[in-house]
Structure 1
Amino acid sequence: MNWDQIQGKWEQAKGKVKEQWGKLSDDDLTQIEGKREQLAGKIQERYGYTKEQTEEELKAWERDTKW
């Protein structure tokens, strides 16, 4: 699924994001509003990941998430 589709279904995607990255709060997910860069920034902030590590995780999540 590409990011445009994820952004369009953000309300549904929030649950799957929360399953993958449980340290993100509901407020974080509301602020992100489906924006990939903001999601990446919050993941880096909450988990202390590098930008590269965050990108790898996001790409794997996008590829592997079933809708």
Structure 2
Amino acid sequence: MLAAATEPDEARQSNVSTEMNAMNWDRIEGNWKQIKGQVRQQWGKLTDDDLDRLHGKREELEGVLQERYGLAKDEAKRQVDEWSGRYKM
């Protein structure tokens, strides 16, 4: 019975986390020119051309990380989630 009571809480927390990530990513995308250097520090294999081409698009960043680092899709997403969660504007 206790487990059933926590499931909605877990789902609610997941939704809040997803919404916060989306809001944070909106800020990242809107300030892409200013934060490209931080992205480059995190993922040094990305070229200036890569960063310019991305324009802050999350899915494209994940795709380039897969290409440059040979990451699986889930791992690229995890790394971007982790980085964007630490990013504060």
Normalized against structure 1, the TM-score is what?
A: 0.93
Aligned to 1:61: 83
Structure 1: stretches of 5+ with no match in the other structure: none
Greater than 3 Å deviation, 4+ residue runs: none
Q: 1:49 aligns with which of 44, 55, 71?
A: 71
Structure number with larger C-alpha Rg? 2
Ranked by relative contact order (alpha carbons within 8 Å, sequence separation 6 or more), the top structure is: 1
Structure 2: stretches of 5+ with no match in the other structure: 1-22
Report percent identity of matched pairs. 51
- Structure 1: distance between partners of 2:35 and 2:28: 6
Q: 1:22 aligns with which of 44, 48, 53?
A: 44
- Aligned-residue CA RMSD (Å): 1.1
Q: Which amino acid aligns with 1:11?
A: K
Normalized against structure 2, the TM-score is what?
A: 0.71
Bigger fraction of residues in helix:
2
- Figure out how many residues of one structure are paired with residues of the other and give that number: 67
